[in-house]
């Protein structure tokens, strides 16, 4: 059954076992697919600069990829959380429906009046819109929104598949209406679902649309806005379950002024003012490195990646961020670290004995396949397998610093592979998404959703770490897992 | 959920969840500062003014004049329904031809409602396929999914991408079969399911008809069409139903009690209720493939939701069967009709045990009717579900004041009006086909009701308008396990009655629980 021999296993044995496992799993694929999938499966070797797998390549048809699409990357991830703008799902009804309020981007506001995140706006394309084009309908939709939601601060047009196929000119509509609405920001986004190979291109397209339709338009427009030497922007935190808040509080406590949140609980004004900050601090590298690089090139703003999962990484990150500032901030960072240390230690003291030695397999998007490893290690747990839904090679390079020799790596894992890997490696916990959750729970394997925090969170920052630790304990040590086998069936 | 006034910080012993954590003063101050200094917010008086304005008749008129933007619709797109129909067949893997993101969404949507895995594959078409067509995606996709997931049948539907570029499923599947993607005699029924036509219930209809046509009319010209040899069996088609797990089991119990020879065509009650016993089942239960062919010979077909089968039912009728279209039978009269039709078609009498169940339900309604009588309800759901709920409310002496279905047409409107006019409690009630939940928001402000019945999204209306919500329909993401309970049959109606009553009594208690002010009415006997 299980190939693991937990106590005695060293990394060489793990490597050999994992290579054998990959070979076994690949056997089921048709020949053509074996070649392609084999490049995405690998075993990390200590000292190598990446994880030895190919990434950001088209998913094979019919394999049950876990990936989504460019629309999901733009509307669902990057743009959707900007709370005072209206985001139109432009095209048929489905895309907007399935992504309606499902990502838990927390925000504060009066929904439907001055904020709109948990609403579903769609042009609900019918056959005639496909045949005759949807530009007129879009123009009318913008008029109606302006009329019914006078406090909206801008509108984005999130293209669904048909838009790019029927040759609509949403840019022209956006420009015309911007003039008519006296300069209102209206952003056409070409994030049709068939573009690219995953959500990832949607992030990039969304970043570019912010560059072209927000920053270019507004840079220098607000000379009276006074910046300070301690201004930063949080980039790539979507405030899932309040993540950006439990991060922001630490940055403020160390003396920084957080001018903008990109994009969880964010506003258009925050985006517009970001070109004046002193440092962009980047959590989700994958989805927002593009705009960070742009602001570096155009406005000379440096950016620094950080990791707010678990006390070890938080301490490291606070010091790293502080190193870009003067002693006041450096002392601030130390003060914050000292303030939270006893709480973090108490959390570890309580939960580590219940979690130490437990093995985890991850499959998530963005930054999490590497970023959460430190938090698990703070609790004495070990990540034995990880992979990215839509990572690129630079993600796998970064991952090489966080994983141990012999770790199983699976890029764009298929439903079949993931099931087989977990069946053989028998981890104590799987961390992945809603589509995977029930597969593994049926198998009797504890599971936490690591996209939505399984409706819990925040997991970022010190306050989030306590919740993270509690949740992992709750999942692994639930009495239910002892009940999956009927007593008369126990071996 | 409120804190007890003490300042709390995060701690290991009593971990504060998001709903407690962010109400602590350190966070409240942070939120206030963020808003004041960085968000450039609209002043709160203006927000309040607009909020009040959205409650007015003036706003309602503007809102109802909308032609182009849809806001918070209560409908999804075709392939979702196609998948729902497909997984009701034994060992069937739904395969959606087009962009892959759609399938990620469908799977998530079902998993969030049923709390179950939802197996489904995509042909992962990208830009090159948009230019050259998705034939190669079909060929490789069928080969891969056949090899990995070992289905007994693959049911192909489409996303709007494949529809816009005009991919031809019949030709593509034929081609893939010739290329050896699947064995020559492997079943691959299909249906075109464009998202820009109809809704998820249209997709259900298309896939159901697609599968029946495939099996009955010669498997896409690979075998001779079947010749009907009528027997006494009755087919049942369930329709798209969030309560399918409970409903199918209840229908089976009833029909078994009656001793009827029946066949449920597409039964997904098992695949969406698999046990946690250490084994993951991608497929479980379902209508056997051989039974799909057998279904042609049945005497009659009952569609439990005829707005889910507008093409399927006439197709079956043309084959020579009698067809009966119901509308999600909730309550006494709707269940009576269902049983009477079954009895008439099968020649089996309605057993005394069911008569007793009926009597018990009538008894329960009589016991409680004083609390429901005259209460005004807003209802929205898929067309058949809305009809079922409306009929039951009228039986209870409640007024279904606003009945709305985003994915409904004039025919449905007529059916609802018929129901209204069948009861004095329907006088003055209004029906709204094709409207969305932002329309309903205006209705709830300008013509308030006492309670609302709808799916999870209605909680936003409950928050904005204060109308207490009874959850029924699809999807229900924020309450667990209700889909395991039937709402059909006399037993099912009893469940609905209890859910409505629980909400009424909870509200009554909530409105009478202030000591020395209102708690004289805080009765222990209701």
Indicate if the pLDDT at residue A4 is higher than 50: no
Of A397, A358, A391, A482, whose CA–CA distance to A197 is shortest? A391
CA A476/CA B320 separation, integer angstroms: 57
Instruction: Calculate mean pLDDT across residues A197-202.
Output: 98
Q: Give catalytic status of residue A392 as yes or no.
A: no
- Using the structure block, give the residue that is written with the tokens 């969880």: A264
Residues B433/B410, Cβ–Cβ less than 8 Å: yes
B19 burial level (CB within 10 Å; 0-12, 13-18, 19+): exposed
* C-beta of residue A324 within 8 angstroms of C-beta of residue A251: no
Give pLDDT, residue A5. Answer: 44
B68 interfacial to chain A (CB closer than 8 Å): yes
Confidence (pTM)? 0.97
Cα-based distances in Å from A124 to B63, B195, B196, B217, B296: 16, 9, 7, 35, 37
- Is the predicted pLDDT of residue A7 greater than 60, yes or no? no
Note the pLDDT tens digit of each residue in A204-256.
Answer: 999 999 999 999 988 778 888 999 999 999 999 999 999 999 999 999 999 99
Which CATH fold topology does B234-351 show?
Rossmann fold (3.40.50)
Q: Do B105 and A273 touch (CB under 8 A)?
A: no
Interhelix angle A243-253/B25-34, rounded to 10 degrees, is 90
Q: Please, what sign has the CA dihedral across residues A136, A140, A145, A146?
A: positive
The residue-averaged pLDDT of A145-158 equals 98
A contacts of B138 (beta carbons < 8 Å): 61
Distance CA B203, CA B194 (A): 8
B78-216 and B353-510 have identical folds: yes
Question: Is A63–B71 a contact, with Cβ atoms under 8 angstroms apart?
Answer: no
- Domain B78-216, CATH: 3.40.50.1980
User: Are the Cβ atoms of A108 and B35 closer than 8 angstroms?
Assistant: yes
For this structure, is A72 an active site residue? yes
**Of B10, B43, B60, B63, which to mutate for an interface test with A (greatest number of A Cβ within 10 Å)?**
B10
**Is residue B43 within 8 angstroms of chain A, CB to CB?**
no
Contact criterion met (CB below 8 Å) for A352 and A379: yes
- Strand partners for B155: B94
Alpha-carbon gap: B384 to the closest alpha carbon of chain A (Å): 20
CB contact under 8 A, B104 and A68: yes
CB-count exposure of residue A38 (10 Å: 0-12, 13-18, 19+): middle
- The Cα A482–Cα A317 span in angstroms is 39
- Minimal Cα–Cα distance from B78 to chain A, Å? 8
Beta bridge partner(s), residue B158: B97
Contacts of A203 in chain B (CB under 8 A): none
Query: Are B143 and A100 in contact (CB < 8 Å)?
Result: no
Contacting residues for B76 by C-beta, under 8 A, at least 6 apart:
A93, A94, A97, A98, B109, B199, B200
Beta bridge partners of B333: none
Which phi and psi angles does B187 have, rounded to 5°? -80, 120
Q: Enumerate residues 6+ apart whose C-beta is below 8 A from B419.
A: B387, B390, B391, B394, B426
B240 DSSP assignment = S
pLDDT of the residue at A223? 83
Put simply, whether B227 touches A (Cβ < 8 Å) is no
Selecting from B71, B76, B164 the residue whose C-beta is nearest the C-beta of A121 gives B71
What count of other Cβ atoms lies within 10 Å of the Cβ of residue A490?
Answer: 6
What confidence score (pLDDT) does residue A221 get? 81
Report the pLDDT value the prediction gives residue B241, as an integer from 0 to 100.
Answer: 98
Size of interface A-B (CB pairs under 8 A): 342
Contact B73 A97 (CB under 8 A): yes
Residue A52: pLDDT band by 50, 70, 90 thresholds?
very high
Assign residue B331 a region (left: φ > 0; alpha: ψ between -120 and 50; beta: otherwise). Answer: left
Smallest CA–CA distance, residue B206 to chain A, in Å, is 16
Say yes or no: A140 contacts chain B, CB-CB below 8 A: yes
With CB atoms and an 8 Å threshold, state whether B99 touches A457. no
CA trace torsion B248, B249, B252, B254 (10° rounding): -110
The token duo for B338 is 């269902």
Q: What is the mean pLDDT of chain A?
A: 96
Tell whether ipTM is more than 0.90: yes
Is the Cβ–Cβ distance between B400 and B390 less than 8 Å?
A: yes
Q: Give the chain A residue whose CA is nearest to the CA of B107.
A: A435
Q: At what angle do helices A461-476 and A243-253 cross, to 10 degrees?
A: 140
Residue A422's region, left for phi above 0, alpha for psi from -120 to 50, else beta, is alpha
Whether cis (ω within 30° of 0) applies to the bond prior to B513 is no
- For chain B, the structural domain boundaries read 78-216, 234-351, 353-510
pLDDT tier at A491, thresholds 50, 70, 90: low
DSSP codes, B476-509: --SS-SGGGS--SHHHHHHHHHHHHHHHHHHHHH
**3-state DSSP percent of chain A in helix, strand and coil, to 5:** 50, 15, 40
Q: Identify which of B38, B95, B115 has the shortest CB distance to residue A438.
A: B115
- For residue A224, the model assigns a pLDDT of 87
Task: Report helix, strand or coil for B305.
Answer: strand
- B322 token code pair: 């009698």
Nearest CA in chain B to A486: B277
Q: Do B101 and A462 touch (CB under 8 A)?
A: no
Straight-line distance from the first to the last Cα atom of chain A, in angstroms, rounded to the nearest whole number: 13
Return per-residue pLDDT of chain B as tens, 526 residues: 444 456 689 999 999 999 999 999 999 999 999 999 999 999 999 999 999 999 999 999 999 999 999 999 999 999 999 999 999 999 999 999 999 999 999 999 999 999 999 999 999 999 999 999 999 999 999 999 999 999 999 999 999 999 999 999 999 999 999 999 999 999 999 999 999 999 999 999 999 999 999 999 999 999 999 999 999 999 999 999 999 999 999 999 999 999 999 999 999 999 999 999 999 999 999 999 999 999 999 999 999 999 999 999 999 999 999 999 999 999 999 999 999 999 999 999 999 999 999 999 999 999 999 999 999 999 999 999 999 999 999 999 999 999 999 999 999 999 999 999 999 999 999 999 999 999 999 999 999 999 999 999 999 999 999 999 999 999 999 999 999 999 999 999 999 999 999 999 999 999 999 999 999 999 999 9
CB contact under 8 A, A270 and B39: yes
Q: Is A363 helix (H, G, I), strand (E, B) or coil?
A: coil
Which residue has 């069928």 as its token pair?
A: B142
Q: What is the pLDDT of residues A97-119, one digit of tens each?
A: 999 999 999 999 999 999 999 99
Chain A residues with CB-CB distance to B148 below 8 A = 28-29, 62-64, 414-416
Chain-centroid distance, C-alpha B30: 41
Query: Which tokens sit at B41?
Result: 């917010």
Token pair in block for residue B407: 């994915």
For the four alpha carbons of B17, B18, B23 and B24, in that order, the dihedral sign comes to: positive
Q: Does A466 touch chain B (CB under 8 A)?
A: yes
The contacts found for A296-305 with CB under 8 angstroms, 24 or more apart, are A298/A215, A299/A219, A299/A275, A301/A275, A301/A277, A303/A235, A303/A279, A304/A279, A304/A280, A305/A281
Token readout for A440 is 């593994």
Chain-chain contact of B105 with A72 (C-beta, under 8 angstroms): yes
Query: Using CA atoms, how far apart are residues B56 and B513, in angstroms rounded to an integer?
Result: 31
- Closest Cα of chain A to B282: distance in Å? 8
For the stretch A240-254, pLDDT in tens is 999 999 999 999 999
Q: Which residues of A touch B40 (CB under 8 A)?
A: 153, 267, 269
Q: How many CB atoms lie within 10 A of CB B132?
A: 12
**Nearest chain A Cα to B166, which residue?**
A165
Domain B353-510, architecture per CATH: 3-Layer(aba) Sandwich (3.40)
User: Based on the number of CB atoms within 10 Å of its own CB, is A182 exposed (0-12), middle (13-18) or buried (19 or more)?
Assistant: exposed
Phi, psi of B367, rounded to the nearest 5 degrees: -60, -35
A310 close to B (CB below 8 A): no
Compare CB distances from A63 to B67, B102, B144 and report the shortest one's residue. Answer: B144
Alpha-carbon distances of A337 from A351, A391, B312, rounded to whole Å? 20, 31, 66
Lowest-confidence pick of A9-13, A45-49, B74-78, B350-354:
A9-13
Q: How far is B362 from chain A (nearest CA, A)?
A: 39
Q: Which of residues 123-142 of B touch A (CB under 8 A)?
A: 123-127, 129-130, 137-138, 140-142
For chain A, the C-alpha Rg in angstroms (whole number) is: 23
What mean pLDDT is predicted for residues A398-414? 97
* Structure-derived torsion over alpha carbons of residues B99, B101, B102, B107, reported in degrees to the nearest 10: 140
Q: Which residues of A touch B201 (CB under 8 A)?
A: none
């Amino acid at each position: 059954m299980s190939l693991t021999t937990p106590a005695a296993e060293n990394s060489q044995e793990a490597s050999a076992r994992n290579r054998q496992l990959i070979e076994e799993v690949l056997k089921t694929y048709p020949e053509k697919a074996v070649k392609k999938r084999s490049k995405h499966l690998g075993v990390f070797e200590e000292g190598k600069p990446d994880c030895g797998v190919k990434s950001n390549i088209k998913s094979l048809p019919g394999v049950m990829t876990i990936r989504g699409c460019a629309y999901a990357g733009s509307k669902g991830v990057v743009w959707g959380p900007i709370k005072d703008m209206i985001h139109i799902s432009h095209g048929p009804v489905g895309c907007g429906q399935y992504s309606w309020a499902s990502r838990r981007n927390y925000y504060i506001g009066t929904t439907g009046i001055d904020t709109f995140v948990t609403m579903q706006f769609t042009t609900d394309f019918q056959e005639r819109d496909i045949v005759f084009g949807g530009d007129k309908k879009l123009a009318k939709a913008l008029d109606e929104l302006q009329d019914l939601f006078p406090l909206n601060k801008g509108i984005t047009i999130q293209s669904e598949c048909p838009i790019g196929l029927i040759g609509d000119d949403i840019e022209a509509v956006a420009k015309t209406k911007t003039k008519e609405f006296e300069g209102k920001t209206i952003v056409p986004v070409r994030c049709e679902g068939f573009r690219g190979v995953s959500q990832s291109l949607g992030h990039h397209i969304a970043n570019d649309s912010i560059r072209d339709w927000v920053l270019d338009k507004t840079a220098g427009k607000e000379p009276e806005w006074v910046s300070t030497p301690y201004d930063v922007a949080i980039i790539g935190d979507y405030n899932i379950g309040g993540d950006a808040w439990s991060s922001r509080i630490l940055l403020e406590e160390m003396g920084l002024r957080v001018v903008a949140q990109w994009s969880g609980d964010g506003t258009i004004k925050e985006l517009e003012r970001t070109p004046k900050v002193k440092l962009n601090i980047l959590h989700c590298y994958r989805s927002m490195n593009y705009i960070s690089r742009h602001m570096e090139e155009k406005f000379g703003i440096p950016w620094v990646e950080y990791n707010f999962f678990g006390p070890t990484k938080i301490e490291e990150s606070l010091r790293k961020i502080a190193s870009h500032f003067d002693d006041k901030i450096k002392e601030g960072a130390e003060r914050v670290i000292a303030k939270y240390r006893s709480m973090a230690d108490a959390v570890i003291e309580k939960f580590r004995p219940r979690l130490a030695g437990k093995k985890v397999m991850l499959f998530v998007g963005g930054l999490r396949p590497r970023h959460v490893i430190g938090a698990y290690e703070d609790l004495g747990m070990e990540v034995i397998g990880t992979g990215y839904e839509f990572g690129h090679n630079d993600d796998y390079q970064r991952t090489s610093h966080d994983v141990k020799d012999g770790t199983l790596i699976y890029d764009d894992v298929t439903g079949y592979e993931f099931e087989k890997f977990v069946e053989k490696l028998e981890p104590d916990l799987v961390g992945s998404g809603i589509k995977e959750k029930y597969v593994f729970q049926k198998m009797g394997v504890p599971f936490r959703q690591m996209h939505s925090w399984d409706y819990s969170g925040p997991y970022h920052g010190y306050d989030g770490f306590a919740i993270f630790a509690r949740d992992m304990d709750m999942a692994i040590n639930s009495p239910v897992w002892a009940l999956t086998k009927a007593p008369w069936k126990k071996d | 959920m409120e804190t007890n006034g003490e300042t709390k910080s995060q701690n290991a012993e009593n971990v504060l969840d998001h709903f407690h954590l962010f109400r602590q003063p350190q966070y409240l101050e942070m939120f206030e500062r963020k808003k004041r200094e960085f968000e450039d917010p609209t002043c709160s008086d203006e927000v309040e003014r607009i909020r009040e304005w959205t409650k007015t008749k003036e706003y309602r008129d503007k809102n109802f004049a909308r032609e182009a933007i849809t806001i918070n619709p209560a409908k999804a797109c075709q392939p979702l329904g196609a998948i729902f129909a497909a997984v009701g067949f034994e060992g069937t893997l739904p395969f959606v031809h087009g962009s892959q993101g759609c399938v990620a969404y469908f799977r998530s949507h079902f998993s969030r409602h049923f709390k179950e895995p939802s197996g489904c594959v995509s042909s992962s078409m990208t830009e090159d396929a948009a230019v050259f067509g998705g034939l190669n995606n079909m060929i490789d996709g069928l080969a891969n999914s056949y090899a990995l997931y070992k289905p007994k049948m693959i049911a192909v539907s489409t996303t709007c991408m494949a529809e816009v570029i005009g991919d031809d499923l019949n030709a593509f599947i034929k081609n893939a079969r010739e290329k050896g993607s699947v064995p020559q005699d492997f079943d691959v029924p299909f249906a075109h399911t464009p998202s820009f036509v109809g809704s998820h219930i249209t997709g259900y209809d298309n896939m159901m008809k697609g599968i029946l046509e495939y099996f009955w009319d010669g498997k896409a010209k690979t075998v001779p069409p079947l010749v009907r040899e009528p027997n006494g069996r009755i087919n049942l088609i369930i329709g798209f139903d969030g309560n399918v797990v409970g409903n199918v089991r209840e229908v089976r119990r009833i029909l078994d009690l009656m001793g009827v020879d029946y066949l449920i065509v597409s039964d997904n009650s098992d695949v969406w209720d698999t046990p946690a016993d250490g084994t993951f089942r991608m497929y479980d239960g379902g209508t056997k493939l051989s039974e799909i062919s057998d279904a042609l010979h049945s005497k009659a077909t009952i569609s439990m939701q005829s707005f889910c089968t507008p093409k399927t039912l006439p197709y079956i009728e043309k084959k020579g069967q009698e067809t009966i279209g119901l509308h999600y039978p909730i309550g006494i009269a709707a269940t009576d009709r269902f049983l009477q039709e079954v009895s008439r078609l099968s020649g089996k009498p309605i057993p005394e045990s069911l008569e007793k169940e009926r009597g018990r339900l009538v008894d329960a309604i009589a016991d409680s009717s004083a609390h429901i009588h005259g209460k005004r309800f807003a209802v929205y759901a898929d067309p058949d579900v809305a009809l079922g709920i409306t009929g039951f409310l009228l039986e209870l002496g409640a007024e279904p004041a606003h009945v709305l279905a985003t994915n409904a047409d004039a025919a449905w409107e007529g059916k609802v009006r018929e129901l209204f006019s069948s009861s004095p409690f329907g006088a003055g009630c209004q029906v709204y086909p094709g409207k969305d939940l932002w329309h309903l928001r205006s209705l709830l402000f300008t013509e308030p009701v006492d309670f609302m019945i709808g799916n999870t999204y209605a909680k936003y209306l409950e928050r904005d308008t204060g109308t207490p919500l009874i959850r029924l329909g699809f999807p229900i993401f924020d309450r667990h396990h209700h889909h395991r309970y039937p709402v059909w049959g006399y037993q099912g109606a009893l469940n609905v009655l209890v859910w409505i009553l629980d909400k009424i009594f909870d509200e009554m208690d909530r409105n009478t629980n202030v000591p020395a002010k209102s708690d004289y009415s805080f009765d222990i006997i209701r």
